Chain A
Amino acid sequence: MAGTPLLELKDLHVRYGVIEAVRGIHLSVNEGEVVTLIGGNGAGKTTTLRSISMVHPPAQGQVLFKGEDITGMKSHHVVAKGIVQVPEGRHIFPNMSVAENLGMGAFQRTKTTKQEVSSDLDHVFELFPILQERRKQLGGTLSGGEQQMLAIGRALMAKPKLLMLDEPSMGLAPQVVERVFAVIAEVNKEGIPVLLIEQNAQMALGAAQRGYVIETGEIVLEDDAKTLLGNDQVRKAYLGEE
């Protein structure tokens, strides 16, 4: 797609004290795309994401959303702009019911009517029938996979213009991981662009159109997802092949 990308990171540097966790990365996500950022432990994946959502603002560089510079904005304003994050390790509200959790997702949409929110809720239930079944159950009593669905569903309630997922496969059984990725594909089919952060390179590259590989805070590879899957370097480092 020509023109300005939906999200663009320009020379992003993020520091924790003196440690520079992300060292000048460039990354972009276009409308309708699933883009994945893969890398090992401590490569700077989550840091990048936290920096985009301004939970941990960058030390240097720019984050552009729809061409607008959002660097240094308050994180709740970023959410209001439509950049919604599903944090690592799910982080649902354990003692709120499933329905209340989903309701929290719509909380910053102060300008929407109740009808709109309730139709969005129905839509989330359509995507995740299991959540409808369990809507009165407490979030904390759901299984890991269901919690991940709930976290994604909750993010959808915020009407994201860009959905950012942080390691949705973490701590889930392989079968459940497959289900979660199927859900990501469904979400993307509705036109919601996704920035997916993963250690599970195989699954992530399978779901994405484009991918970036990050190592010690720098982007070392950037290509079509299919090409990356076939890349020797990637296969060695992330897919466990000799």
Chain B
Amino acid sequence: MAGSDRDLRTYLGDRYPRTAERIPDEVIKVAQPLFGVWRAIGYGRYLLAILVMIAIPILMKPEIVPFLEDFDSPIPYINGSFGVSVLVDTGIYILLALGLSIVVGMAGLLDLGYVAFFMIGAYTAALMTDSGGAEQFHFVVWPNLAALPFAVLVCVLAGVALGTPTLRLRGDYLAIVTLGFHEIVRQTANNLPQTNGSRGIPGIERPQLGPIEFTVLGSENYWFYLLIPAIILAVIMIRHLEDSRIGRYWTAIREDEVAAAAMGVPVVRMKVLAFAIGASTSGVAGWIYAGYLTFISPANFPLLASILILAAVVIGGLGSISGAVLGAVLVQGLPQVVREASGGETIFGFDPETGRIAVFGFLLIVVMIFRPGGLLAPKRRRVELSEASAAEGVIVDETAQPSKDEIEFASSVHEAAQHKEGS
């Protein structure tokens, strides 16, 4: 139980100093015991999180469990099949946001066409599996599960294909190229006879493992349960990348490309790798999406989707895993809940479907003004973006005295200034 008695305010203060100060004492008093329990269970909290994720769809659709048939869902608005479909949409966005956060958050490469990879993943899955009466579109007809590794592989290759020619580009220029990449992919799918053009591919087969049909729990639930391990794997992968040599290379490139190259960072290779790894999660997301909808067409992958995913990553906090998850929930999940809760009424004069875009624009501006690093910015990013904390200049430190440093710093500046005057 060591550490479980740690003060909640101190704990929060380490992460979010200014926010922690503002929390009233009463709240801390109530939350302290809960925090104690949270710390005491240690790694059990991950198990708890998984259990909660498994429980949510069951709470939304109690009828799928035999002995709960007569119960109504205790969750308001988002319940039944609709509720679970919101979860699936959100889960797919979480996967996408995680992938994009590698490219944009970790390597610092602005990608405005990320949804192109998602689309490539979905089309790969669709073209490799049995889909209704549209066999003429298929290269091969494999069981859906067998298409998964290929969806990922094709996405990774697409990442390399986009990354390689655009290596020399930085910032805005790269963003424009990625925008173009998305348009190329979309127009290709729109015009190729092999992809059935704008009519899309209907009747995509759902996965089946031998005789076991995964639709046993109700199809939406199945997809959500499939998303849980995918998201967990993606999170584990990114966690490890963050602390790895590759993660450090990316940080170096993001901070100063020239310096990174001078230190022997293989800049070119690392940028391509960021694109490739970032694209891999969208391969999984695309595969799930194709099987889940059973119908895909280019209209499912508009530019707006790219922008929403980017918005999710930015609102949540660039380079932050929990931020990407939170951002995806806010961007994809929340609007659907709001729409349902509003009962189709207009919100502030907006129709709920289009209104959410206006709300996002506004939300994005507000977040950027008050939390430039995003809602859950990682520590390094907070330092990068906030002048106030950059002036403190200490990130890893808990014991050193910045005051002493500051005095020396000031005196050395003063010295230099005097010298200038004198000369």
Contact = CB atoms under 8 A, between A and B. Distances in A.
Given A87-B258, A104-B248, A173-B419, A97 B396 contact: yes
B397 interface: yes
Given A95-B384, A143-B416, A137 B393 contact: yes
A163 to B, nearest CB: 11
Contacts of A84: 262-264
Interface stretch (A61-69, A71-79, A185-193, A209-217): A71-79
A95 B396 contact: no
Contacts of B405: 133-134, 137
Nearest to A103: B248
Interface string A167-195: 00000011110000000000000000000
A158 B263 contact: yes
Interface stretch (B225-233, B352-360, B407-415): B407-415
Do most interface residues of chain B lie in helix, strand or loop, or is the interface mixed?
Answer: helix
Interface residues of A, number: 43
A173 B423 CA distance: 10
B373 to A, nearest CB: 12
B384 A86 contact: no
A141 B390 contact: yes
B248 A138 contact: no
Contacts of A137: 393-394, 402, 405
A158 B264 contact: yes
B394 to A, nearest CB: 6
Given A84-B264, A97-B395, A107-B264, 10 more contacts: A80-B264, A91-B259, A93-B252, A95-B255, A97-B396, A107-B248, A136-B394, A136-B395, A137-B393, A138-B383
B397 A136 contact: yes
A141 B393 contact: yes
Contacts of A86: 262
B265 interface: yes
B413 A143 contact: yes
Interface string B254-280: 011011111111110000000000000
A53 interface: yes
Interface in A87-127: 87, 91-97, 99-100, 104-105, 107-108
B18 interface: no
Given A107-B263, A173-B416, A95 B252 contact: no
B408 A94 contact: no
A95 B380 contact: yes
A145 to B, nearest CB: 8
B271 to A, nearest CB: 13
